[in-house]
A and B are shown apart, each in its own frame.
Chain A
Amino acid sequence: MSSRKTLMLDKLTVSFDGFKALDDLSLKVDPGELLCIIGPNGAGKTTMMDVITGKTSPDSGAVRFGEDLDLLKLSEAQIVAAGIGRKFQKPTVFEQLTVFENLELALAGTRSFLKTLLARISPLQRKRIHEVLEIIGLSAQRDAPGSILAHGQKQWLEIGMLLMQNPELLLVDEPVAGMTPHEIERTAELLRSLAGEHSVVVVEHDMTFVRSIARRVVVLHEGHVIAEGDMDKVQKDRCVIEVYLGE
């Protein structure tokens, strides 16, 4: 399960009605790395995630996962199958289903209608669900419907659902927005524990959170990378200060 593939974004450009959401963006995510992406609103963070996951197709550029996988040629579902999981900004767990059922649906494998009609949970799969419940700290809530979970718990369940698919690369969009300080701490711990075994890309506004988890930070502005390095280096960068302080 440990991550072996490198994600390469090469000179991506995406424009919406003349507005360039991504402008010649190149980026590399090494196997097992925990990378944080920051940038002001409209910097292209979400568009970048959309391109990687196949929701948006770029005007030009390339996205490669590993040696020979061209993500631009795959559908959204195929990209998921290739090992890229995404957690959306707004937690969308299935409210009517229990925590356990949410994880069950996220299990890797069976996806066709007929197969799911006959599918039963194998002991191995059950064990995996319990492992993930343990990792995300929701073992006690396994039979509760998604709708009664607290905001932070929903975010963790979402991350758990990603883990059920054994992705090599996790894309996590604003995981701590709206969380209490305690929940933020728990989330940082969770993401740190996932790096290494998975590559993790986190998009986040919360600077203290980014500082607490990131080894490498990339700053996006107007669709391209303006700075990268560790948090201290990035915070001293003149371009970054200009963009953030509006010089």
Chain B
Amino acid sequence: MAAKKQQGFTIWTPTASGDRGGNIFLAILAVVAVAVPILNLVVPSSSALHLSPFGITLIGKYLCYGMLALAIDLIWGYCGILSLGHAAFFSLGGYAMGMYLMRQIGRRSVYGDPILPDFMVFLNYKSLPWFWHGFNHFGFAMLMVVLAPGLLALVFGWFAFRSRVTGVYFSIITQALTYALMLSFFRNDMGFGGNNGFTDFKDILGFDLHSDITHVVLLVATVIALAASYLACRAIVESRAGRVMHAIRDAESRTRFLGYPVESFKLWIFVFSAVIAGVAGALYVPQIGIINPSEFSPINSIEAVIWVAVGGRGTLYGAIAGAVVVNYAKTYLTGSFPDVWLYALGGLFVVVPLFLPRGIIGLVTARGKHK
């Protein structure tokens, strides 16, 4: 009887279905990386097929959000850690990049101070605060893009996981974390430009941020970073460590009982996820051209979790697809029917867990099986 049960039974594991979907996703990324430069740089601007700089920025934004969703899915979908503060890591990466871009402006700023960014001159700073030193070097700034979110996640996660804060309590304190950061970054005396944040960037590594070619290169860099993060996450979830993460998600104390240091698994995976979010933020800022404290706002983190839920939790590529689809809908709705967006978002909140527990990807793979 037992043998009969096994026959004809198809196993569903996220990794098994993830391979095919994931490969399709990588192929789509490759197409984007090739098509965007051609449609923008080669196709003449008179053609209907021409991709405007605005279009590139939009795609770049969606992909950065996709990377944030990927980071959330790694910890939520596979390890059961629901962070409602992941936009904080995204924003920290963005701020680190923004500090580099601010220092690149130099004499071209409105006040023309060679060292101090405009907002510091305006706020009567006499010299550069200590934590701004080094950000004139691209390499140092990139190090900070990784270190700032990574270290925050390490310290925050160490305290939270060590105290065995889990489930909804963890989610609530991550909300508090991002809210506290938002309030701090709003303060002028923090030295991060207060509520205006950073903007009016000129160039990156000497390349003009307003030229099409720079936009194209930034987009391709985003595609590469997204593909690399996806492959890294996939390698993790397909390793034995990935199976331990599954085990933690489904039966945490049982996993602890097998002798796995559950807290350290959670901590490292949380730090890695925060770093991916930070890199996504760093790629977002030069493409969008602005970073300010509202990026830390709690609703941003919650929206990002909705992207993952809509796309399909625990598939990695589904989270990215969810981010793109929801943000495309947001762009469209806020443009055409500005009043509708918040209702649509609220509706997603209700409809997705009720009717699409496995998201869009779950819907697609279920259809595929019936055929």
Residues of A within 8 A of B261 (CB): 77, 111-113
Q: Is the CB of A96 within 8 A of B258?
A: no
Which of the 9-residue segments B214-222, B239-247, B349-357 touches chain A?
B239-247
Contact with B along A104-142 (1 / 0, CB 8 A): 111000111110111100000000000000000010110
Contact partner of B258 among A80, A98, A101, A113, CB < 8 A?
A80
Residues of A within 8 A of B208 (CB): none
CA distance A137 to B247 in the complex (A): 23
Q: Is the CB of B240 within 8 A of A98?
A: no
Q: Is the CB of A94 within 8 A of B259?
A: no
Chain B interface residue count: which class? 20 to 34
Q: Is the CB of A98 within 8 A of B251?
A: no
| Contact A94-B247, Cβ < 8 Å, known A112-B261, A148-B9 | yes
Residues of B within 8 A of A140 (CB): 2-3, 6
In the complex, whether B265 has a CB less than 8 A from a CB of chain A is: yes
Residues of A within 8 A of B260 (CB): 77, 105, 111, 116
- Kindly identify, within residues 232 to 284 of chain B, every residue whose CB is under 8 Å from any CB belonging to chain A: 236, 239-241, 243-244, 246-247, 249-251, 254-261, 264-265, 268-269
- Kindly identify, within residues 58 to 99 of chain A, every residue whose CB is under 8 Å from any CB belonging to chain B: 76-77, 80-81, 86, 88, 92, 94-98
In the complex, whether A165 has a CB less than 8 A from a CB of chain B is: yes
In the complex, whether B13 has a CB less than 8 A from a CB of chain A is: yes
Residues of B within 8 A of A144 (CB): 5-6, 9, 11
| Contact A77-B241, Cβ < 8 Å, known A95-B250, A97-B247, A113-B268 | no
- Name which residue of chain A comes closest to B1, CB basis: A150
Q: Is the CB of B240 within 8 A of A116?
A: yes
CA distance A233 to B254 in the complex (A): 37
- Name which residue of chain B comes closest to A150, CB basis: B2
Residues of A within 8 A of B269 (CB): 113
Contact partner of B13 among A81, A98, A110, CB < 8 A?
A98
CA distance A153 to B2 in the complex (A): 10
Residues of B within 8 A of A148 (CB): 5, 9
Residues of B within 8 A of A98 (CB): 11, 13
CA distance A118 to B242 in the complex (A): 11
| Contact A111-B250, Cβ < 8 Å, known A104-B240, A104-B243, A141-B2 | no
B13 nearest CB across to chain A (Å)? 7
- Kindly identify, within residues 128 to 180 of chain A, every residue whose CB is under 8 Å from any CB belonging to chain B: 138, 140-141, 143-145, 148, 153, 161, 165
CA distance A53 to B59 in the complex (A): 54
Q: Is the CB of A94 within 8 A of B250?
A: yes
CA distance A111 to B257 in the complex (A): 12
Q: Is the CB of B259 within 8 A of A143?
A: no
A189 nearest CB across to chain B (Å)? 17
Residues of A within 8 A of B5 (CB): 141, 144, 148
| Contact A92-B264, Cβ < 8 Å, known A105-B243, A143-B6, A144-B9 | no
Q: Is the CB of A117 within 8 A of B240?
A: yes
| Contact A110-B9, Cβ < 8 Å, known A77-B259, A77-B261, A141-B2 | no
Contact partner of A105 among B2, B11, B240, B256, CB < 8 A?
B240
Q: Is the CB of B256 within 8 A of A76?
A: yes
Q: Is the CB of B251 within 8 A of A81?
A: no
Residues of B within 8 A of A118 (CB): 239
Residues of A within 8 A of B9 (CB): 144, 148
CA distance A77 to B261 in the complex (A): 8
CA distance A88 to B251 in the complex (A): 12
Residues of A within 8 A of B249 (CB): 96
- Name which residue of chain A comes closest to B258, CB basis: A106
Residues of B within 8 A of A76 (CB): 256-257
Residues of A within 8 A of B244 (CB): 105, 116
A137 nearest CB across to chain B (Å)? 8
Contact partner of A113 among B11, B241, B251, B254, CB < 8 A?
B241
A113 nearest CB across to chain B (Å)? 5
- Name which residue of chain A comes closest to B236, CB basis: A117
CA distance A153 to B269 in the complex (A): 32
A120 nearest CB across to chain B (Å)? 8
Residues of B within 8 A of A81 (CB): 259
Q: Is the CB of B239 within 8 A of A143?
A: no
| Contact A105-B247, Cβ < 8 Å, known A94-B254, A140-B3 | yes
* A interface residue numbers (CB < 8 A to B): 53, 76-77, 80-81, 86, 88, 92, 94-98, 101, 104-106, 110-114, 116-119, 138, 140-141, 143-145, 148, 153, 161, 165
Q: List 16 A-B contacts (CB under 8 A).
A: A53-B257, A77-B256, A95-B250, A98-B11, A101-B243, A104-B240, A104-B243, A111-B259, A113-B264, A114-B268, A116-B244, A117-B239, A141-B5, A143-B11, A145-B11, A153-B2
* B interface residue numbers (CB < 8 A to A): 2-3, 5-6, 9, 11-13, 236, 239-241, 243-244, 246-247, 249-251, 254-261, 264-265, 268-269
10 additional contacts (CB under 8 A) given A76-B257, A114-B268: A80-B257, A80-B258, A104-B240, A111-B259, A111-B261, A113-B241, A113-B261, A113-B264, A117-B236, A118-B239
